[in-house]
Structure 1
Amino acid sequence: MTGRTTDRKGKSKELKSLTNELQNEIAAFTLPNSLPCSEIDFPVAPRRKPRANWDEILEESEEKFQEVENYENSKKGRQPLSPFLNTECNYLKETVFVHLQPALEETLYKAQIWEALKQQKCFFNGIDHIAQLLWNNNPRHPQRKEHNLHIFNMPWVRELLKTNPRAYYPKSWLWPEDYAATVIQKTVRQYFVQREDEVQEMRNFWRKLEVERSIPEIQGNPLLSKKFAASQN
């Protein structure tokens, strides 16, 4: 019995000493004036899972398909068309528009600078500028780029103006807008009417009749009639 009582007394003394040490440590502990943000656990709001945007998915798929098509086209290469497949559209696209489109773009840029689309009386002439660009940038005559002549300094223009001089004032300066619009509409309608097959046939008939009246020998001379028929075709 005496041994058990001594053990209990020893344990109680140890507990008292531990409690005293904890109380002393708690009394000596003081909070710091400030804590770094890295040591503070702020509450984090739960994030929602991003939903799939159908437009973005379509755009990404189209971009991927376009990349695949571009890669396939680059591998295939362009094959030259056979002569019987070369149409007028291909000729215009590959031969004419290659040089005409840059000239039109530069002409529009110059027209904006001169404000030709806002002012009726403007020194800038778009048709003259297009002719000047096409003549100077002709790929068959690369030496013309070195001189880059103005249209009125070109030899063929000077010769043409000697025989057919221009009016002092262009019609765009003299005509009012209403009358100019009427003339443009009339010309466009005339073109679309004259290109019809029936109208073309009638015009050819009157043209041949006029030639026969002016040259009476054509009726009795088969060679002249054949030559005239070949020239009309």
Structure 2
Amino acid sequence: MPIITVGKETNLWQDICSEFATKRAQAETGAISTSFLNFEKKYPDNSEIKKPLTDKQIYDPSKHSPVFCNYSYNHVTIDDITQIQIDTRISHPACINYALIPIDHIQRELTRSTTLVHRPITPIKKGPKELSTIEYLEKFVYPILLKGIEQLLIEAEKRKCLERKRSAFNALDYLTRYLFYKNPLRINLSEEKNQQLSDIDQSLENIPFVHTHFEQHPRAPLPKSLLWSEEEAALIIQSFYRGYRIRKQPDVQELRQWQREWRDANRNIHDVVEDFWRQHTSSPPV
């Protein structure tokens, strides 16, 4: 059956989002568990990613023109279409604004690239300012940021952030710490490659620019409900309730009443003692 192929243009970020959306949909339906957040797949550099060149579609006369059968086409912008002269003996008006490549030619190029020995090609080095936005993101931003996001999701799952509505874990704080303490320009990756972030030695307040910001804009302290773990909160609540049950007993109530009266009676005991000794002290001789 004839096949129409359309040139497919994607980038690394779109591939990652589509893959994560597929896994998330499977996790919501119960097909897979949520452990896919701990995947061991490492996204390679842009040069190692193999993207499909074409997107194949079955030919449908109601949707496609027979002129494009067995051709891969890409849309090409033309400024003034009225100035184009078409020879119907060798071309067709439907080909206007499209560049056609035979599928056989693409298949031969793919076969040739897989059979020939891969030879390293020296790329043309460009500065960061000379790259386009997508190239800059894929080359300088995503290789570092994606590793940090991966560790962020693993840490969020450890602290059960996906199971609760409120949590003390701050994703932006963790990502800031990761990008600062795991910066390859300031540390030796061979020594700290597999080390985890330490909440004490590598805290957020120890970062210079964060410390300066907190001095000008201090944060409000977190409530105890977010700082205490479930075990600590249960221990404090149980201790308070046991104390309440003890204080509620009649003999304890009587003892507490006597202690209250004794404190009221002896509230100014120091002043009373001083007045007593002042009155009974003999006056000095003249």
- Length-normalised TM-score, structure 1: 0.38
From the two aligned structures, give the one with the greater helix fraction: 1
Richer in strand (by share): 2
The structure number with the bigger radius of gyration is: 1
TM-score between the two structures when normalised by the length of structure 2: 0.32
